[in-house]
């Protein structure tokens, strides 16, 4: 009944080249992406960046302040001079080395949890959004899962299974799935109402190709944004688990572990908590900024109705 409608002017995700150009032009994405690349690189290249064995117990060199140099006796009996850039902990382990290796765990957990939870959530959400009778059941289960605060669920799960990288990842993933499912489902429900879906049905498109050709591409952008936020949250949760003593075993250095051990001497030697803490905050900040930037470029005004209205 309305008069001439104004053009919604959706951003077109046409050529990959355009997407790339737009992404790299966004400040948040560029800076955050850069920082994360550096962090990832540093973690991966840890062995060649002046580190020693992060698990090497060396009581002689304990509680050194940041910047101190000392002689380190390796397992093979060699003695080398080594600078403890970030000091050492109460067992004499080099904080710098531990922090660098610890980065691997955090980044890995973040990436894997994000991928797994989005994949699972997408599958369940798509089905739920399209198969009406299943929808009610699935949503009740998801609501129930969401009612249990994520960290508590993760803590309980890890404490019940043997603490290992795999269990930590799975324990952190499970509470994230309901939220992704909700998002996908609401996306599917709103996209389903779009006129172009009806138009595709009118030219005889079957359900499966409909999902792949028309529904999926319009859900990708918000899912990618959500995935980055999940990664940030996963890194935080992992560090909390480690900090509370219910995460990975202490022989695997993670930022949370290092802080957990360091907290006992926080008064005198704050560097134990300070360095991993700052790096943790920096990493999570970078991931969050990346998510913000992605959201602004890929999905400027994503609202409940799915497509930006006129």
Partner 1 sequence: MLRFLLRRILATVPVLVVVAVVVFLMLRLTPGDPAAVIAGDNATSEQIEQIRDSLGLTRPLAVQFGIWAGNLARGDLGESFFFKMPVSALIAQRLEPTIALAFTTILLAVLVSVPLGVLAAWRRGGWLDRGLMAFSTLGFSIPVFVLGYMLIWLVSLKLGWLPVQGYRRLADGFGPFIRHLILPSITLSVIYVALIARVTRAAVSEALTEDFVRTARAKGLRETRVLIRHALANAAIPIVTVIGIGIALLIGGVVVTESVYAIPGLGRLTVDAVLARDFPTIQAVILFFSVAYVLINLLIDLSYVVLDPRIRY
Partner 2 sequence: MSAEHPVLRIQGLSVVLPKGADRRHAVENVEVTVAAGEIVCLLGESGSGKSIIAQSIMGLLPDNIRPVSGQILLGEENLLAAGAERLRALRGASMSMVFQEPMTALNPVMTCGAQVEELLRNHTAMTHAQNRARVLEMFEHVHLPDAARIHASYPHQLSGGQRQRIMIALALILKPQLLIADEPTTALDVTTQAQILRLITELTRENRTAVLFITHDFGVVAEIADRVVVLRLGQLVEAGASRSLLSSPRHEYTRMLLSAVPSLTPRKSPVESSLPVVLRARRLSKIFHPGGWFRRGAPVRAAEEVELELRRGETLGIVGESGSGKSTVARMLGRLIDPTGGEVELDGCGIASLSGEAARRLRRRIQFVFQDPYRSLNPRRTVGAAIVEGPMNFGLSQAEASARARELMDLVSLSPQMLDRYPHEFSGGQRQRVCIARALAMQPEILIADEPVSALDVSVQAQILQLLEDIQRRLHLTMVFITHDLRVAAQVCNRIVVMHRGRVVEQGPVREVFERPRDAYTRGLLAAAPGRSFAFGQV
Binding site for partner 1 (CB under 8 A): 140-141, 143-153, 155-157, 159-162, 232, 236, 239-240, 243-246, 259, 263, 266-267, 270, 273, 277, 280-281, 284-285, 288-289, 292, 303
User: Looking at beta carbons only, is 9 or 59 nearer to partner 2?
Assistant: 9
Min dist. Cβ of residue 217 to partner 2 (A): 5
Which of the listed partners (partner 2, partner 1, none) does 244 bind, with a CB threshold of 5 to 8 Å by partner kind? partner 1
Q: Does 134 bind partner 2 (CB under 8 A)?
A: no
**CA-CA distance, 129 to 110, in Å (whole number)?**
27
Min dist. Cβ of residue 5 to partner 1 (A): 15
In sign, the C-alpha dihedral spanning 179, 180, 185, 188 is positive
Contact 135, 185 (CB under 8 A): yes
* Candidate ranges 1-9, 56-64, 70-78, 176-184; the one touching partner 2 (CB under 8 A): 1-9
Number of H helices, E strands in the chain: 11, 2
Min dist. Cβ of residue 218 to partner 2 (A): 6
Cβ neighbours of 288 (radius 10 Å): 17
- Name which position in 6, 48, 81, 147 contacts partner 2 (CB under 8 A): 6
Min dist. Cβ of residue 115 to partner 1 (A): 20
Which of the listed partners (partner 1, partner 2, none) does 217 bind, with a CB threshold of 5 to 8 Å by partner kind? partner 2
User: Looking at beta carbons only, is 199 or 264 nearer to partner 1?
Assistant: 264
Contact 287, 225 (CB under 8 A): no
Q: Does 5 bind partner 2 (CB under 8 A)?
A: yes
Of 128, 130, 110, 298, the closest CA to residue 220 belongs to 298
In sign, the C-alpha dihedral spanning 130, 131, 133, 137 is negative
Burial grade of 45 (CB within 10 A; 0-12, 13-18, 19 or more): exposed
**CA-CA distance, 176 to 178, in Å (whole number)?**
6
Min dist. Cβ of residue 29 to partner 1 (A): 14
What are the residue ranges of helices labelled H in 193-270? 195-202, 207-210, 216-244, 255-262
- Name which position in 79, 206, 208, 304 contacts partner 2 (CB under 8 A): 206
Q: Does 13 bind partner 2 (CB under 8 A)?
A: yes
Contact 182, 230 (CB under 8 A): no
- Name which position in 45, 131, 199, 278 contacts partner 2 (CB under 8 A): 199
Q: Does 218 bind partner 2 (CB under 8 A)?
A: yes
Binding site for partner 2 (CB under 8 A): 1-10, 12-14, 136, 194-196, 198-206, 209, 213-214, 217-218, 307, 310
């Amino acid at each position: 009944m309305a008069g001439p409608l104004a053009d919604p002017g959706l951003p077109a995700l046409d050529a990959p080249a355009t997407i790339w150009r737009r992404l790299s032009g966004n400040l948040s994405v560029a800076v955050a992406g850069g920082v994360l690349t550096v962090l990832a690189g540093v973690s991966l290249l840890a062995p060649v960046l002046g580190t020693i064995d992060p698990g090497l117990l060396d009581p002689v060199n304990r509680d050194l302040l940041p910047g101190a140099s000392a002689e380190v006796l390796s397992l093979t009996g060699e003695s080398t001079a080594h600078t403890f850039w970030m000091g050492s902990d109460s067992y004499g382990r080099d904080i710098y080395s531990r922090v660098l290796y610890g980065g691997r765990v955090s980044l890995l957990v973040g990436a894997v949890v994000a991928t797994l939870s989005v994949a699972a959530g997408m599958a369940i959400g798509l089905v739920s959004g399209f198969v009406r009778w299943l929808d009610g059941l699935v949503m009740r289960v998801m609501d129930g899962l969401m009612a249990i605060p994520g960290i508590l669920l993760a803590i309980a799960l890890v404490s019940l299974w043997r603490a290992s990288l795999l269990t930590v990842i799975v324990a952190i993933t499970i509470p994230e799935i309901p939220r992704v499912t909700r998002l996908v489902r609401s996306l599917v429900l709103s996209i389903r109402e779009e006129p172009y879906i009806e138009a595709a049905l009118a030219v005889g498109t079957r359900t499966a190709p409909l999902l792949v050709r028309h529904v999926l591409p319009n859900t990708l952008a918000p899912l990618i944004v959500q995935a980055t936020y999940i990664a940030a949250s996963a890194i935080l949760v992992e560090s909390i688990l480690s900090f509370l003593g219910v995460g990975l075993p202490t022989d695997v250095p993670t930022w949370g572990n290092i802080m957990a051990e360091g907290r006992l001497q926080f008064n005198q030697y704050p560097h134990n908590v300070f360095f991993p803490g700052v790096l943790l905050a920096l990493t999570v900040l970078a991931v969050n900024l990346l998510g913000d930037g992605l959201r602004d470029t890929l999905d400027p005004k994503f609202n409940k109705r799915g497509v930006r209205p006129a």
